[in-house]
Structure 1
């Protein structure tokens, strides 16, 4: 029987269980957060500096299905400055970012400014303090996943991302998980609303 989990990936961890890179000793891996079955893999990735919801599975077919089904992924980004209506509209309509040295126009997406900051636990590495100017939070929902896409999008419209937390994949939300916590999911396809 395959196993599936949802995990709150903390800041500073790689979205993988094995590190084949040159800096093996200095990188934190998901296996340090708990005991998982041997074949567990992450479905999609969050970069080392990003946090939030990461789905895990021992079933490669499920991983492929979710990655290829264009499932919505919602992110909360804390950005430098008070984001403007014009910047939000640009994000919604699609912006030009660089991917592998080429220009790529992002697909239209849902984006809006959050009226109140989300109540996330303190991050492991402290953000800058208020003396460096105001910040604001924006929700961005994508069904594509280019490398560092949200960070590139907010930077292009003039509001670099300071903190990035994925809060939802399909119908599965982060809810009350804290960084490093995970729970088992019974039927991941049903929870995501994908056909059996």
Structure 2
């Protein structure tokens, strides 16, 4: 029997990097524009810390720091997923290796797996511009239930294979595995 492995599809995660760089670019543009417009007036004016300019400066600094943190939070984990060749689901004769949430690695022997369950989860987001605009995203989750412990959930939305491919590869090693939520 041959082994199998599934990794992240790199093109599916590029929008997160673009959005993260947009946040960082927007902050850098605003800071550069503010320094160009204001120049050195803050050093010349000699205002105290209780002036309205100091409070506004603190608020802008806080907002920009939040945007920098959001940009880095989008860029760094996504770059790790794209550049480092991590196997999200891999199997061989000995067992199944999966990476769960926060890229934590789990290894199970084939005899420890009780059943699989396939779930589609829809997340709804209401647009702030209109009361009727609703955006939805669909995530595909594959919980693996073990005999002795809790289940491990793997997000298979952005993997390089479909759920049918993953289940077919697992069924090569466990032909009688029960898969809930999937009509195969």
The TM-score range, normalised by the shorter chain, is: under 0.3
TM-score when normalising by structure 1? 0.19
Larger Cα Rg: Structure 1 or Structure 2?
A: 2
- Return the structure number with greater helix share: 2
TM-score when normalising by structure 2? 0.19
